[in-house]
Amino acid sequence: MIRKVFIGCNTADGFYSFFDFLKNPDDAKIFILKGGPGHGKSTFIRSIGEEMIAKGYSIELQFCSFDRNSLDALVVPSLRFAIVAATGHHVRDPMYPGVVEEIVNLGAYLNIEGVLRYKEIIIALNNEIERIFRRTYRYLNAAKLMAENIEDINSSLQDYAKVNLVTKDILNEVLAGREIADHIGCERHLFASSITPDGYVTYVDTLIKGSSVYKILGNWGTGKTTILKKIGEEARVRGLDVEYYHHPLDPEKIEHTILPDINTALITTDEVVNKECRALYNLNDYLKDRKHIAEEEKMNELINEAIENLQRANKLHVELENYYIPNMNFEGINKCRERVLQEIERLEVTSVVRYTNKILSNMDTLVP
């Protein structure tokens, strides 16, 4: 199985990342790729992902919100392994260097003398890209303000007693018969969607395959995030793991909640046709009034302006990469990739040993 998410998003609060790869990350192996534009980070990650798919592993691909076709991370949950390109707007340094994370510096394979010839051009391009990003985030911040206006209006018109009944109905069905557990379930925070140069892009369809889907629709301020958080909280106290997928414009909002332990997904978009859902709730039905809100048009216009700016920045980024690619030693990078694959093979052996020991331990408990 291949799940697809975004490592981060272009939001009203700037670039926002969740480096949330694995539960209990202290017991994991994480490679952190460092390197600039055109250094081959995405290709490096993609090739390892292809190796894992060929071996039959379920993987999670984390894409770049600046280029929906570019990979920023790969997670192999069963091996407790992740590799992430933590540079640019989503910088991450090791918390436990050597024992959990290991830095892989692709910059070591750059011909410095080759790029120095283009120093002034490279600096100018970088500066212009950053200016465009600042402009993009101002547009998104303005769009969020329009969304807050919509939220204020709808909040004053919503019948929250009926929203509470919807929450109760979903809880009774999804968590029926599940008692309070002796442990709290883990939670992960990710993005299933992003605002990209190609517009709004979502990979939620890859996350809900084989799940019971509950669709909760509604405008800003109708109560979707409240329902999704409440269900997540109730699931965790029953020992279930929860994945919260945040809204790409406002990361404080929840767009989807998934309960992987019981193959249940609660989504707030029309990515699944209604007949394939276990239930459909439209919270707009409980609004006491449905007058036209001009802020919606303004919000969408501002988001479109942000997208146009992302497109400009992306074109400049491609131009920037063209100065680096000819000066990279990709043969050396391939050797580096082989070293990482050897480390993964060691993780595979460890995984088999761990699984065998678990089986033997369970057998011991059965011996009278």
Confidence of residue 2 (pLDDT cuts 50, 70, 90): very high
**pLDDT of res. 63:** 93
Q: Does residue 20 surpass a pLDDT of 80? A: no
Q: Domain limits of the chain?
A: 2-110+331-366, 159-286
Segment 255-309, tens digit of pLDDT: 999 999 999 999 998 777 666 788 999 999 999 987 667 888 999 999 999 999 9
Q: Which residues contact 220 (CB under 8 A, 6 or more apart)?
A: 147, 148, 150, 151, 154
Q: Does residue 157 surpass a pLDDT of 90? A: yes
Q: Does residue 86 surpass a pLDDT of 80? A: yes
Distance CA 226, CA 218 (A): 12
**pLDDT of res. 73:** 92
Distance CA 99, CA 15 (A): 29
**pLDDT of res. 224:** 96
Q: Which residues contact 255 (CB under 8 A, 6 or more apart)?
A: 192, 193, 245, 246, 247, 248, 267, 268, 269
Q: For 75-86, what is the mean pLDDT? A: 90
Handedness of CA 338, 339, 340, 346 (dihedral sign): positive
**pLDDT of res. 363:** 47
What tokens appear for 127 in the block?
């500066």
Distance CA 218, CA 1 (A): 31
**pLDDT of res. 12:** 94
Half-sphere exposure of 298 (CA within 13 A, CB side): 14
Segment 222-267, tens digit of pLDDT: 999 999 999 999 999 999 999 999 999 999 999 999 999 999 999 9
